[in-house]
Amino acid sequence: MPLLLSIHRYILWLLTPFWLGLIAGLVFLAAMVNSLNFLAKVINDNMSIWLLLKFVSFGMPVAVWLVTPITLYLAIMVVYSRLRNDTETVVMQSCGISQFSLGRPAILLGIVGSLVMAYLVASVIPGVNRAFRDAKNELVFALTPSAIREGVFFSPIQGITLYIREKAQGSVYRGFIMHDQRDPKQPMTVTADEARLEELDGDFAIVLTGATRFEQRQDDAPSSLLNFDRHVYSYTPDRSYTNRPYIKPRELYVGELVAAVRNKTTPKYTNGYIAELIDRLTSPLLPLGYALLALSIINQGQQGRRGTSTQTLVAVASLVGVEVLRFSAKSLASESAAAAPVLVLAELMPFVLALVFWQAMNLQSWLQAMWASRHA
């Protein structure tokens, strides 16, 4: 028993730093790529570095969630392949340690990774997505000089469409058109000769000069047309996640996703909520599934005397195939509820492949034993 514990600690000492290093490296790379999206705002609008870091940090939990199972799979493949190539596993097995015992450290890390991913998808990621949306809405007018393009319609937030004919000095725009349909029952269109963006008491405001407001009402109610010399149109970021016509699935917690699916709050997007709910419930199993898949490939290579190139090809093909199947199945499930079982199967595919490889190894051993006994 002391020998087995020492071997487990030795393998964990090799696996854990390598796995964490892969996660840190890939998350840092994703943060650098994400920061490129905000460099234009830093250069053109004097956006602070602190604000840049704040927006980049919003994507880090999602990056950790994406790379945790993949990096664990790669770490297990590399470490156990090195142990096999250095004949360390041969020595360990000669001491009476089974292949399953050698794989316990990898399975333990798979369980740890599954718990971390369960915590991320249950609590962290929905909150981060909400914080990112709120921060983006609050800063949309502060960063408008870099977002607005002359002669182009664009939507800074959901429900509002803007058009600017010409930029003037500072935050002044000429030929201003805004269509506000956040209230579907009372859409409004505002035109103005000149518009200026300001911040008043924590709210964002558009000061309009020489403006016309047209309100179109439904249910045979009379529409209204109002001309005015100066008008202040204020905007307060909406943080209500219950009254919006459509809430992105990634912004909802698991309980809210269940309620959205059960009550069919927005029937048009129910399939998207179902796909997100399935992904939330099954994706935490990926680290454990990938750990078992990696161990089955390593063990099959040892038993079958396969070369390193063949084993690497099988490992890469399995990883790419599972990831492509997962994202394709989620896209299909978001469009049609009939594809939901396919998404469940895709999420559990690492376990299926691990079982197939283990059974293939046992079948190969049985066939070899039968062949040897026949010739004997």
* 190-216 residue pLDDT tens: 888 888 777 655 556 778 888 888 887
Q: How far apart are CA 229 and CA 194, in angstroms?
A: 10
Q: Establish if 242 belongs to a structural domain.
A: no
Please tell me whether residues 201 and 315 are part of one structural domain.
no
Q: Establish if 241 belongs to a structural domain.
A: no
Which of 167, 200, 235 marks a domain boundary?
235
pTM of the model: 0.72
Cβ 141 vs Cβ 204: under 8 Å: yes
Which of 235, 270, 301 marks a domain boundary?
235
Q: Establish if 314 belongs to a structural domain.
A: yes
What local confidence, expressed as pLDDT, does residue 263 receive? 80
- Residue 263 has which token pair? 């009550």
Q: Establish if 149 belongs to a structural domain.
A: no
Q: Establish if 151 belongs to a structural domain.
A: no
Confidence grade of residue 248 (pLDDT, cut at 50, 70, 90): confident
Does pLDDT of 71 surpass 90? Answer: yes
Please tell me whether residues 132 and 195 are part of one structural domain.
no
Please tell me whether residues 337 and 228 are part of one structural domain.
no
Please tell me whether residues 264 and 125 are part of one structural domain.
yes
Q: Establish if 144 belongs to a structural domain.
A: no
Please tell me whether residues 107 and 219 are part of one structural domain.
no
Does pLDDT of 58 surpass 70? Answer: yes
Work out the average pLDDT over 222-234.
76
Q: Establish if 246 belongs to a structural domain.
A: no
Contacts of 173 (CB under 8 A, 6+ apart): 148, 164, 165, 166, 167, 194, 195, 196
Please tell me whether residues 126 and 179 are part of one structural domain.
no
Please tell me whether residues 230 and 258 are part of one structural domain.
no
What local confidence, expressed as pLDDT, does residue 271 receive? 86
Which of 235, 264, 279 marks a domain boundary?
235
Name the domain count of the chain: 2
- The position carrying tokens 């250069």 is 43
Cβ count near 204 (within 10 Å): 20
* 278-318 residue pLDDT tens: 999 999 999 999 999 998 888 765 554 455 677 788 888 98
Does pLDDT of 93 surpass 80? Answer: no
Q: How far apart are CA 23 and CA 29, in angstroms?
A: 10
* 167-179 residue pLDDT tens: 777 668 888 888 8
Q: How far apart are CA 326 and CA 18, in angstroms?
A: 26
Q: Establish if 152 belongs to a structural domain.
A: no
Cβ 347 vs Cβ 283: under 8 Å: yes
Q: How far apart are CA 270 and CA 256, in angstroms?
A: 12
Average pLDDT of every residue of the chain: 79
Please tell me whether residues 9 and 117 are part of one structural domain.
yes
Domain range enclosing 78: 2-138+254-375
Please tell me whether residues 284 and 184 are part of one structural domain.
no
Please tell me whether residues 362 and 279 are part of one structural domain.
yes
Please tell me whether residues 259 and 169 are part of one structural domain.
no
Please tell me whether residues 96 and 27 are part of one structural domain.
yes
Sheet strands side by side (includes 172-180):
154-157, 160-167, 172-180, 188-200, 203-215, 224-235
